[in-house]
């Protein structure tokens, strides 16, 4: 079922964003030259202040290898970087919580690209809020069924807290002791199970550190989604700039062989 919805999503994205094009002379220029819509970056930059899970205390490391004029007379800059897979705006590959499921490099493009549905609960979200089946049903009552092959993005409003680590995570602690003190919204496990069994989405993203809420003890929403090869996008930015329906998402992670996730550059196209 997962592969079918991925194929459906890729076809829908192509048809909707590129328009009905004659087979002999497709014209995709409007998607890229600004005439058919606009692209929005949904990615937080990686740097010294990037937020990681509290147990990943090393954070993002950028080491200067070279910077300045060379003996040959030209300028040259080069850096090495180090990062845990799961920090900043990043991908959760299904294998992250589901043994035998897709690793980062094996997720097909159809599982990373598709029409977007933005479910906005920012007007009622609190630090322990769970996005429910009722929230999803309310979106469908207004907009129709969640798109087959689509990408569900949950807007809780927590993205506005990104520059304040304590407000974003709910704690100023670091290390293992911080985990029990985490407070931020997430997806209810029964809603995750409903999505996995009743709808044809290929990925779920959220503007918080985790698909599960901060106080989760069992990461049941992760398990329900990832067991069905539905990927996750965490710490997504700028969801307030997207309409609730009509946008399209391209989410391309670093292609780490055998990885359980990776840094993600995620963007959205909003047609005019």
Residue of 44, 86, 90, 96 with catalytic role: 96
- 244 DSSP assignment: S
For residue 51, which of 84, 93, 95, 91 has the smallest C-alpha distance? 84
222 classed as catalytic: no
Q: How far apart are CA 234 and CA 213, in angstroms?
A: 12
- 69 DSSP assignment: E
* Residue 190, beta-bridge partner list: none
Q: Could you tell me the two tokens for 182? A: 């985490």
- Cα distances (angstroms) measured from residue 103 to each of 157, 174, 254, 262: 29, 28, 12, 10
CA angle 53, 54, 55 (to 5 degrees): 95
Could you tell me if 241 and 249 are in contact, meaning their C-beta atoms sit under 8 angstroms apart? no
Q: How far apart are CA 207 and CA 209, in angstroms?
A: 7
Could you tell me if 148 and 200 are in contact, meaning their C-beta atoms sit under 8 angstroms apart? yes
Q: List the catalytic residues.
A: 96
């Amino acid at each position: 079922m997962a592969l079918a919805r991925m194929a459906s999503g890729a076809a829908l994205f192509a048809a909707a964003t590129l328009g009905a094009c004659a087979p002999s002379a497709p014209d995709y220029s409007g998607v890229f030259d600004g005439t058919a819509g606009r692209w929005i970056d949904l990615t937080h930059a990686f740097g010294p202040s990037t937020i990681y899970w509290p147990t990943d205390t090393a954070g993002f490391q950028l080491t200067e290898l070279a910077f300045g004029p060379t003996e040959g007379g030209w300028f040259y800059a080069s850096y090495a970087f180090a990062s845990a897979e799961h920090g900043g705006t990043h991908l959760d590959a299904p294998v992250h919580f589901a043994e035998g499921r897709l690793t980062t490099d094996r997720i097909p493009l159809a599982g990373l690209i598709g029409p977007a549905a933005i479910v906005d609960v920012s007007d009622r979200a609190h630090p322990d809020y769970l996005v429910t089946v009722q929230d999803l049903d309310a979106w469908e009552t207004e907009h129709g069924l969640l798109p087959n092959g689509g990408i569900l993005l949950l807007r809780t409003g927590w993205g506005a807290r990104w520059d304040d680590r304590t407000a974003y995570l709910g704690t100023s602690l670091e290390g293992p002791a911080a985990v029990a003190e985490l407070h931020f919204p997430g997806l209810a496990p029964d809603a995750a199970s409903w999505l996995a069994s009743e709808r044809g989405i290929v990925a779920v993203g959220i503007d918080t550190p985790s698909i599960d809420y901060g106080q989760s003890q069992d990461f049941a929403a992760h398990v329900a989604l990832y067991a069905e090869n539905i990927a996750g996008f965490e710490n997504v930015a700028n969801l307030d700039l997207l309409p609730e329906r009509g946008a399209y998402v391209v989410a391309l992670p670093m292609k780490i062989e055998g990885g359980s996730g990776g840094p993600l550059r995620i963007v959205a196209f909003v047609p005019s």
